[in-house]
Amino acid sequence: MSPVVKQKKEKFTLSGKYLLLIFSIICILLMVFTYGTSAFDKPLNIAVGYVVVPFETGISRLGSWLSNRSDEFTDVKDLLAENEELKKEIARLTEENSILAQDKYELNELRILFELSDQYNDYNKVGAHIIAKDSGNWFSAFIIDKGTDDGLAEDMNVIAGGGLVGRISAVGPNWARVTTVISDGNYVSAMMLSTNDTLIVEGSLELMDNGIIAFSQLKDKENVVVEGDKVVTSKISDKYLPNILIGYIQYVSADSNNLTKSGYITPAVDFSNLSEVLVITDMKNVDYK
Partner 1 sequence: MLRKVLMVIAAFLLFLLQSCVFPHMSLGGIVPNLILIITSIFGFMHGEKAGMITGFCLGLLFDIFYGDYIGLHALILTYIGFANGKFFGIYYPEDIKLPIGLTITSNFSYGILCYIFSFLIRGRLNLGYYLLHVILPELIYTLIISIVIYPLVLIVYKAFERHENKKKKEA
DSSP, collapsed to helix, strand or coil, labels residue 201 as strand
Give the start-end residues of each E strand in 109-162: 125-133, 141-144, 157-160
Q: Which of 125, 126, 129, 134 binds partner 1 (CB under 8 A)?
A: 134
* Closest CB to partner 1 among residues 208, 244: 208
* Closest CB to partner 1 among residues 132, 249: 132
- Contact between 136 and partner 1 (CB under 8 A)? yes
DSSP, collapsed to helix, strand or coil, labels residue 134 as coil
Q: Which of 35, 65, 114, 288 binds partner 1 (CB under 8 A)?
A: 35
* Single-letter residue type at 92: R
Q: Segment contacting partner 1 (CB under 8 A): 29-37, 160-168, 195-203, 244-252? A: 29-37
Q: What is the rounded distance in angstroms from the CA atom of residue 274 to the CA atom of residue 161?
A: 9
Applying CB under 8 A, the site for partner 1 has a residue count of: 46
- Contact between 184 and partner 1 (CB under 8 A)? yes
Least distance from partner 1 to the Cβ atom of residue 186, Å: 10
Are the beta carbons of 175 and 145 closer than 8 angstroms? yes
Are the beta carbons of 140 and 180 closer than 8 angstroms? yes
Radius of gyration of the chain (CA): 25
- Contact between 248 and partner 1 (CB under 8 A)? no
- Contact between 128 and partner 1 (CB under 8 A)? no
Q: Which of 128, 132, 192, 225 binds partner 1 (CB under 8 A)?
A: 132
Question: Which secondary-structure segment (H or E) carries 7?
Answer: helix 3-9
| Dihedral sign from CA coordinates of 74, 76, 81, 87 | positive
Least distance from partner 1 to the Cβ atom of residue 149, Å: 18
Least distance from partner 1 to the Cβ atom of residue 135, Å: 4
* Closest CB to partner 1 among residues 152, 232: 152
Question: Which secondary-structure segment (H or E) carries 57?
Answer: helix 53-71
Q: Segment contacting partner 1 (CB under 8 A): 25-33, 156-164, 192-200, 247-255? A: 25-33
- Contact between 135 and partner 1 (CB under 8 A)? yes
* Footprint on residues 64-83 left by partner 1 (CB under 8 A): 67
Are the beta carbons of 266 and 248 closer than 8 angstroms? yes
- Contact between 185 and partner 1 (CB under 8 A)? yes
Specify the length of the chain in residues: 289
* Single-letter residue type at 104: K
- Contact between 90 and partner 1 (CB under 8 A)? no
Distances 157 to 124, 142, 226, 278, 280 between C-alpha atoms, Å: 11, 14, 27, 9, 5
- Contact between 269 and partner 1 (CB under 8 A)? no
Please give the backbone phi and psi of residue 124, each rounded to the nearest 5 degrees, phi first: -80, 130
- Contact between 273 and partner 1 (CB under 8 A)? no
Question: Which secondary-structure segment (H or E) carries 139?
Answer: none
- Contact between 28 and partner 1 (CB under 8 A)? yes
Can you give the binding site for partner 1, defined by CB under 8 A? 14, 16, 19-20, 23-24, 26-31, 34-35, 40, 44-45, 48, 52, 55-56, 59-60, 63, 67, 131-139, 141, 143, 169-170, 177, 184-185, 205-206, 208-209, 272
